[in-house]
Amino acid sequence: MADSSFDVVSKVDKMEAENALNQAAKEIEQRYDFKGVGASVAFSGEDVLIKASTEERALAVLDVLQTKAIKRGISLKSLDAGDPFPSGKEFRIEVSFKNGIEQDIAKKIGAFIRAEAPKTVKSQVQGDELRVSSKSRDDLQQTIQLLKGQEFDVPLQFINFR
C-alpha cells in the first residue's frame, strides 16, 4: 500500500480578506467617531492601506479591520500590521496578509513532528508548505491533532489528505 499524506499550509482566502476589508470600510464610513477624520481603509496592490488624520484614529481603524477579519475566520497571526507613520497631514498604517510558511518555521514544525509524532510519520519541506506522510492514516490524523494543539507563529491549515 502506498503512503498516505497531507500538506501543512498557511494561506489566507483572498475572498474572505476582501469581504473583511469591505465590511470594515462600510463600518468606518457609518460610525460617528470616524466622521471628519479622513479615516479610510483600502487595498493598495496586495497590501491594505489605512489612513486617518491622527495616530489614534489610524489605530482605531486597524482595530475595526482586525475585528472584521476575525469574524470572517482570518487569524490575526496572518495579518502583519506595521507601525503608524506620518505622511503629510495624515497617519498611515500598512497591513499585509502572510501567505506560506517560512523556512525556519517549517523546520520547527518538522522538528516537532520528528520529536512528538508517531515514528512512522515523515515530513518534508516543499517550498512554502510542508508535506507529511506515513503508511498509517491514523498516525497522520494523530499528527494533525498534535499540530493543532501546538502554538506556531503562523495559522496552519491541513489540505490534500489522501
The per-residue DSSP string of 67-108 comes to HHHHHTT--GGGEEE---EEETTEEEEEEEE--S--HHHHHH
pLDDT of res. 151:
86
DSSP state of 66: H
Enter the pTM of the model.
0.82
DSSP state of 34: G
User: E strands of the chain, at which residues?
Assistant: 4-9, 40-44, 47-52, 79-81, 85-87, 90-97, 122-126, 129-134, 157-159
CA nearest to 112, candidates 123, 101, 126: 123
Mean pLDDT in consecutive groups of 10 residues from the start of the chain, 162 residues = 80 90 93 86 87 91 94 90 89 90 89 88 87 88 88 85 82
pLDDT of res. 92:
93
pLDDT of res. 26:
94
The average confidence (pLDDT) of the chain is 88
Q: Which amino acid is at 114?
A: R
